[in-house]
Amino acid sequence: MIGIAESNSGVMEKTIEKFNTKQIEFLLASFSDLNGTLRAKLVPANRLASVCESGAGFAGFAVGSLGHGPSDPDILCIPDLRSMTVLPWQNNIAWFAGTLTEDGSAWSYCPRTILLNVMEKAKKLGYEMYTGVEPEFFLLKEDERGNISISDDKDVCAKPCYQQQALMRNIDFLSTLINYMNELGWSVTQADHEDANGQFEINFDFADVLSSADRHSFFKYMVRSMAEERNLVATFMPKPFSHLTGNGCHMHLSLWGGGTNLFENPFDQKGNGLSQLGYYFIGGLLRHAKAISAIVCPTVNSYKRITATATSSGATWAPNDIAYGGNNRTKLIRIPDSGRIEFRAMDGACNPYLAAAVILAAGLDGIEKEIDPENPSGGMTSSSNNNDYKLPTTLKEAITALEEDEVIISALGESFMNTYIIRKKEEWAEYHDYISQWEIDKYLKGN
């Protein structure tokens, strides 16, 4: 594969040396499907060179939404050796993020390739994006009847955020997870009990956007695997409980060039420590916010998080205004510190590669067009309460906005986006046609 093959040839010897040193017996040649689910083949370690050359074959139609029918040839996954991650809980296996090809060229339906394409555009303009994500998740348990509840029976506080007692009751899981992440070199900064009962967040160092997306993907797999080992369920579902705060996945980001943070400006007259380039990037995010939502909030359930009016703790911590502010957690874009911004709409269901790609693409458009974040769409201001400048309230509304956004469709690839839009319309129709228990309880006898 173009790019990946070249990078692999440069590190193949070192990777083989690591395999020998760490006594790696197997590798997972893995890729992300449209929904962010990891698909993989288990390959013996002595087949590393051949799988990097010819790829691990998959029936594309079997994993869905890869532009393939059942009669098409195999789609091939080429492991990116730079992404090597030894499973901390099973250290004879190494995981590799892969990119997809059919005939040696980049495959337009591969989420990781889509991110690489947007990164290449940024690189030609002299920019490299660095990101840090804050994934939130619930630890749950399931009884013999399939009922789901918070795994910690004592975690019942109305405002449980940062609750030390609840944090320490889960110290085995959290400390093991942190040790694993540090073993991988991710440099965890802190962990906390989040705003909902049974909810946690781990913060770790930022990295280049591709490495962060790879780590984000592996993080979700690792947390779920750890939970399964303990007969628990870990979920990143945006809104698993109607009365509790949902799972966000805030992304902190900045653009760099020549080793310099191009978002940083200590002389910013607005007092945010942000450069004009950074403000233009925000302008792009605001202009394309409705379309972006269809990617970063990709499920029916996502919109029950960002449109929630209240939770038992008193706040949803999810934005719904298309607006930015300083260190203000109610805004879509927060500026928590000089030289970086935080995008707060993204949720735990997002595909890490597509989410990063669409955010970068929108920001680059803001820079190219010098979009003023105070007035990105002919009237909106950073404190607007106009309903026209709210985030979408449903997946259907978000998909409609995406269909109308030529910039985003072009940036992520027209053929892929057409497939994505079709799949999401099908998801909405499936939801719409389902008769819920709430409807039965409310309407069956009363009407």
Nearest CA to 341 out of 129, 136, 186, 189 is that of 129
In CATH, what class is 4-109?
alpha beta
Please state the φ and ψ torsions of residue 436, each to the nearest 5 degrees. -85, 165
Nearest CA to 346 out of 293, 310, 303 is that of 293
Contact criterion met (CB below 8 Å) for 199 and 193: yes
| Percent of the residues in the chain that have a pLDDT greater than 70, as a whole number | 95
Is the pLDDT at 446 greater than 80? The verdict is no
Residues 388-400 have pLDDT tens digits of: 689 999 999 999 9
Nearest CA to 33 out of 86, 87, 88, 75 is that of 75
Query: What is the pTM assigned to this prediction?
Result: 0.95
242 token code pair: 């109607």
Confidence of residue 386 (pLDDT cuts 50, 70, 90): low
Half-sphere exposure of 77 (CA within 13 A, CB side): 29
Specify the pLDDT at position 316: 81
Is the pLDDT at 6 greater than 70? The verdict is no
| Element spanning 43, H or E | strand 38-44
Specify the pLDDT at position 436: 93
Residues 187-237 have pLDDT tens digits of: 999 999 999 999 999 999 999 999 999 999 999 999 999 999 999 999 999
Is the pLDDT at 244 greater than 60? The verdict is yes
Location of structure tokens 């607006």: 323
Q: Give the C-alpha separation, 335 to 281, whole Å.
A: 12
Nearest CA to 36 out of 254, 203, 218, 198 is that of 218
| Percent of the residues in the chain that have a pLDDT greater than 90, as a whole number | 83
Confidence of residue 67 (pLDDT cuts 50, 70, 90): confident
Residues 251-300 have pLDDT tens digits of: 999 999 999 999 999 999 999 999 999 999 999 999 999 999 999 999 99
41: which strand partners? Answer: 29
Dihedral angle sign, alpha carbons of residues 242, 432, 33, 308: negative
| Mean of all residue pLDDT scores within the chain | 93
Average pLDDT, stretch 371-380? 71
**Residue range 119-394 in CATH 3.30.590.10:** yes
Nearest CA to 86 out of 159, 8, 186 is that of 186
Q: Give the C-alpha separation, 131 to 222, whole Å.
A: 20
Surface-to-core class of residue 230, CB atoms within 10 Å of its CB (0-12 exposed, 13-18 middle, 19+ buried): middle
Residue type, 160: P
Residues 147-173 have pLDDT tens digits of: 999 999 999 999 999 999 999 999 999
Q: Give the C-alpha separation, 249 to 44, whole Å.
A: 34
Confidence of residue 381 (pLDDT cuts 50, 70, 90): very low
Is the pLDDT at 93 greater than 50? The verdict is yes
Average pLDDT, stretch 334-356? 97
- Domain limits, the chain: 4-109, 119-394
Residues 48-61 have pLDDT tens digits of: 999 999 999 999 89
Residues 306-341 have pLDDT tens digits of: 987 778 776 788 888 899 988 888 899 999 999 999
The beta-strand segments (E) located in 104-227 are 128-142, 148-150, 188-193, 199-204, 207-208
The beta-strand segments (E) located in 186-285 are 188-193, 199-204, 207-208, 233-235, 249-257, 260-261
Is the pLDDT at 5 greater than 80? The verdict is no
Lowest mean pLDDT among 35-39, 44-48, 102-106, 420-424: 102-106
More confident residue, 2 or 142: 142
